[in-house]
Structure 1
C-alpha cells in the first residue's frame, strides 16, 4: 500500500466531519472510497500513486457537472484548488480546477475571450477534453481548438508538458478524447480579442418547423460572428421558463448587424424579439443551480447527435418528438465555420463536417413515461440519431459504457486505444466515456 500523504492538499474519508460536503458535487452526491483535494501537482501525483497501488479507479472532478461523479467507489480527485488563471498577452494559463465563469471574468478585464460552454460553473477541464462547443464555436472553433499546450500528470505519475511537438499522440487524444489519458493540471489557451457581444433572445410560439427551417437557412451563409441556438423546454422548473426561444450571440457591439442577421427569423409568424443588446461575455453565461438531493432530477429518455445537415426530415422528426412528449426538451445549436475548418484527423473530436448539434429527450416523469411507452420514446430518438454522424459526449447525462462507440469512428477509436495503452495501460482513468487500452 502506498501512503497517501500530500504536500498541502487534504484527504477526506467516510466518517470525517467534512465528508458530506466533500462528496457533494454540482450534479449530485458521490459515494467514493476516498476524496483527495489536491492543492499542488505533487498532490495529484500522490493521489494517482495511491489509486494505482490500491487498484482504485480515479474520477477527476473540476466543475462537478459530470454524471460520473455519482458512480460508487474509487478515488475522487478534486482539483478545485488548482484554479489559477494567468494571462500573458493573448496566452492564458488556466488551472485544471478552474470554471469557465471565473476564466471569462478574468479575461474580460484584459479585453479577451475564449469560447467556452454556456454555464459559468462548468469546469474548464471536462469541457475542453471533451471538445467544448460554445458561443464562439463558429468564429473560433471548440474550446479544444483554442488549446495550445497542457500540463498532464499520467497514470504513472509523470508530469508532461504536451503540445503539438511534444508528445503529439497524446496532444491529439486530449482534444476530444475526454479524461482518459491523464490529469490535466494546466491548460494553455490562445485567447481572442473580445470587448462585448450582442445578445438576443427571440420568443417563439406555434409550429416549430418553419422557425427551424428559417434558422437553418439563415445560418447557412451567416457571418462567423453569429451563433444561434433553439430551445423548447417544458414547464418543470421555475428557474427555466417554459416555452421555445431562439438565442443569438454576435461577437462585437454592432447591434445593427446583429439585428439584420436576425431579420429573416423575425419575419416568421410566431417569432418576436424579447431582448437584444450589448453585453459583456461573462454576463451571458448561465448560472445553473446545483442539484438538490431532496429533489433529484428525473431520468432522461433520448440523446444527442452531431448533424451533417439539418434536413427537413430531421426538423420534422425533432419537432414531432417535442410535440408527442409533454415533458420533453428540444435543443439545437449552429456549428460550421471555424469548427469545420479543422481537419477531421487533427483532433479526436468527431464529425467536423457537422453543421448542427441537436438534442432531444423526454424526462422520465411518473404518469407521463412508463414501461409501456419508454421504449417507444427511445425508438423515436434512435430514428433521429440515425440521421447524425456522432454523439457529443459532453452533453449526455448517461454513464452507459456503450456510448463511447457512438462518439468516435473505428479509425479514431483504434488510435485512441493505442494512446490509452501507452499512457494508461491499467485503465486507471475509467470514470468517463472510457477508451479501453488496445
Structure 2
C-alpha cells in the first residue's frame, strides 16, 4: 500500500509499521490493534483526506476517540486517531442557555473539568478516559442519566465527515434523519468531528458510598423500591466484585450521586435504604463532578486481559425472579462481577421513537459476567456461564452496545429493535452505501 500520497495530503502524523512510535500509537485502553496505517489527524481537512484514502484503497475506516472500543484492536484498516481534536467551547444558545461544542477526540474527564469551572455539566459516562464520541454515539449511560437522560439526549448538533470525505453540519433543521441516527445509532454514518450539547447548571454533586453486608437479594429489592419513587436527581449503582486488586476491594457496595449540592436531599432520599439491616454509610460529601469519574490507566500493551463471559441487559421490571437470577449468577462463580445502574427519570421521558436507543421503559441496567481465566475455567464452565447469562438477557428489553466488548458484526441485531434497525439501515444506505464505517456494531446498508 502506497501511503506517500496520504503523508503529503495531511498535516498530522501518518504512521506505518516501520515508523518510530508505531507500537505506542496502536496501543489503547482496549488493547493493541494491528491496522494497516495510522493517521493522527490534526485538522478537519485531515479527517476528510484520511476517509478518502481509506475509500480509495478499499480499506475500512477505523475511528479512535478515547480508545476503549474493542473494534480498534482488530487487524487491518485505516486507523483515524481523533485525539488531537479535543477542543471544548462554551457558547450561548438561541434561548440564552449554554451550548457546548466538543471535538470528536475529547475525553469526558477533560470535558467535565472544563465545564465544572463554569458551573456546568453534561450527562456523560463514569470513566474519565472514555471518549466523548464513542459514548455519545452509543447512547451514553452515566451518573446523570435519571436527571438529564443519556449523553445522546443532550446532543443538538454535530459536524460530520461523510464516507465521501465531505463535511456536513447536522441538526434538527439540517439533516434531521442523520441527527436521529447519531443519537444512539453508533459510528455507522460518518466521523463526528464536533459534538454540540445542551449543558446544564451543575455547581457540584453529592456523592455517597454505602457498604453492604447480608443477603444480596434483600438489599437489591430494597434498592429497587427506593429508586421507584426517588427524585430524578438521584442515580445509583450496585457493584459486587471479587478480590482482584488492592484498589478494588472485594464485596458489594452501593454508590449514589445527587445532581446538585444538597447533602440533606441525598440523605433524605437514601434514608429508607440506610434503615435496612446491612447497609451502612461509609462516605457522603459534596464533590466536584469531575472528581467522581473513574480514572482507569491503560493496561500494559503486553498484558493479556482475561475473557469475559456474560453481558448486559436493560431491565423493565427488576422483579424478584430477575434479582434472584442475577445474584445466583454472581454466587455461582467466585471470579465474576455483578453491576446495576438505575434508570428511569429523564431517561424514560424520551419517546422510544425519538432516538435509536432501545428500551426507554427500562428502569435498570444490569451487567454480569465471569472472567475466563486460563487454567481455571474449562469448556464446560464456559458453556454454563453463557447459558446462565442468556437466560438473564432474555428477561431484559434490550442490550446496551457501549458495554459490550463483542466484535461480532451481527451483534447490532441484539441492540436495536426490528423497526429501528430498518430505519437505521435506510439512513446508512444514504450516507455510507459501501459500508466504509463497518468497524462498529454495524448497521448494514439496506
The verdict on a shared fold, with TM-score over 0.5 as the criterion, is yes
Give the drift of 1:384: 0.5
- 1:229 maps to which residue? 237
Give unmatched runs, 5+ long, in structure 2. 93-97
When structure 1 is superposed on structure 2, of 321-330 and 163-172 the one drifting more is 163-172
Give the drift of 1:367: 4.2
Please say if residues 63 and 121 of structure 1, whose CA atoms lie closer than 8 Å, have aligned partners that are also in contact. yes
- 1:405 maps to which residue? 413
- Residue number among 32, 37, 43 corresponding to 2:46 in the alignment: 43
Given the two structures, how large is their TM-score scaled by the length of structure 1? Answer: 0.98
Give the drift of 1:7: 3.9
Give the drift of 1:126: 0.1
In 2, the alpha carbon distance for the partners of 1:384 and 1:27 equals 26
- 1:199 maps to which residue? 207
In 2, the alpha carbon distance for the partners of 1:306 and 1:236 equals 26
The reply to whether residue 109 of structure 1 matches residue 117 of structure 2 is yes
- 2:373 maps to which residue? 365
SS at match of 1:105: helix
- Residue number among 157, 162, 165 corresponding to 1:157 in the alignment: 165
SS at match of 2:392: helix
In 2, the alpha carbon distance for the partners of 1:179 and 1:280 equals 31
In 2, the alpha carbon distance for the partners of 1:175 and 1:91 equals 17
- 1:431 maps to which residue? 439
In 2, the alpha carbon distance for the partners of 1:117 and 1:77 equals 23
The reply to whether residue 264 of structure 1 matches residue 272 of structure 2 is yes
Please say if residues 27 and 301 of structure 2, whose CA atoms lie closer than 8 Å, have aligned partners that are also in contact. no
SS at match of 2:257: strand
- 2:18 maps to which residue? 15
Give unmatched runs, 5+ long, in structure 1. none
The reply to whether residue 79 of structure 1 matches residue 82 of structure 2 is yes
SS at match of 1:372: helix
- 2:36 maps to which residue? 33
SS at match of 1:171: helix
In 1, the alpha carbon distance for the partners of 2:409 and 2:216 equals 34
SS at match of 1:152: strand
SS at match of 2:337: strand
- 1:70 maps to which residue? 73
Runs of 4+ in 1 over 4 A off after TM superposition: none
Please say if residues 327 and 368 of structure 1, whose CA atoms lie closer than 8 Å, have aligned partners that are also in contact. no
In 1, the alpha carbon distance for the partners of 2:219 and 2:9 equals 56
In 2, the alpha carbon distance for the partners of 1:204 and 1:85 equals 39
Alpha carbons of structure 1 residues 367 and 270: separation in structure 2 relative to 1, 3 Å: farther
Please say if residues 335 and 357 of structure 1, whose CA atoms lie closer than 8 Å, have aligned partners that are also in contact. yes
The reply to whether residue 315 of structure 1 matches residue 323 of structure 2 is yes
In 2, the alpha carbon distance for the partners of 1:50 and 1:285 equals 37
What do residues 402-423 of structure 1 show as CA deviations (whole Å, max 9, x unaligned)?
Answer: 2111101110011111111110
Given the two structures, how large is their TM-score scaled by the length of structure 2? Answer: 0.97
The reply to whether residue 179 of structure 1 matches residue 187 of structure 2 is yes
- 1:284 maps to which residue? 292
Give the drift of 1:299: 0.3
The reply to whether residue 376 of structure 1 matches residue 376 of structure 2 is no
Q: Over the residues paired in the alignment, what is the CA RMSD in angstroms?
A: 1.1
- 1:61 maps to which residue? 64
In 2, the alpha carbon distance for the partners of 1:28 and 1:366 equals 18
- 1:124 maps to which residue? 132
Give the drift of 1:27: 1.8
Please say if residues 213 and 315 of structure 1, whose CA atoms lie closer than 8 Å, have aligned partners that are also in contact. yes
Aligned pair count reads 438
